[in-house]
């Protein structure tokens, strides 16, 4: 704590580097939080009986170029959309 109070050069450099790394991690976390929000929204729509809207929400993310590099998430959303469509007919 004293090094921080004294504005020790090594400490401030370390702190700045650590914060820079956290900012990069936060950008990645935002990406996954956005995907989680979409999944939750789709499940809520499905639960409320809005099957078509739930599927459209998932397809919107699957077709989004920003999401294209995350193949596993795209596959999961496609699987969830298929499950919703299958249950919709029942």
Domain boundaries defined on the chain: 30-88
> What per-residue confidence (pLDDT) applies to 73?
85
> What per-residue confidence (pLDDT) applies to 32?
77
More confident site: 33 or 53:
53
pLDDT over threshold 80, residue 89: no
Residues in CB range of 55: below 8 A, 6 or more apart: 42, 81, 84, 85
Take residue 29 and report the two structure tokens written for it.
Answer: 């976390």
Q: From CA 41, how far away is CA 80, in angstroms rounded? A: 12
pLDDT tens sequence across 51-65:
999 999 999 988 876
Q: From CA 81, how far away is CA 75, in angstroms rounded? A: 10
Q: Which residue has the tokens 């939080």?
A: 33
> What per-residue confidence (pLDDT) applies to 21?
66
């Amino acid at each position: 704590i004293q090094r921080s109070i004294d504005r020790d050069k090594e400490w401030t450099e370390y702190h700045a580097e650590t914060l820079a790394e956290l900012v990069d991690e936060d950008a990645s976390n935002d990406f996954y939080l956005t995907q989680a929000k979409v999944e939750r929204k789709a499940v809520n729509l499905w639960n409320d009986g809005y099957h078509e809207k739930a599927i459209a929400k998932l397809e919107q993310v699957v077709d989004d170029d920003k999401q294209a590099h995350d193949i596993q998430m795209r596959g999961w959303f496609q699987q969830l959309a298929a499950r919703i469509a299958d249950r919709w007919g029942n």
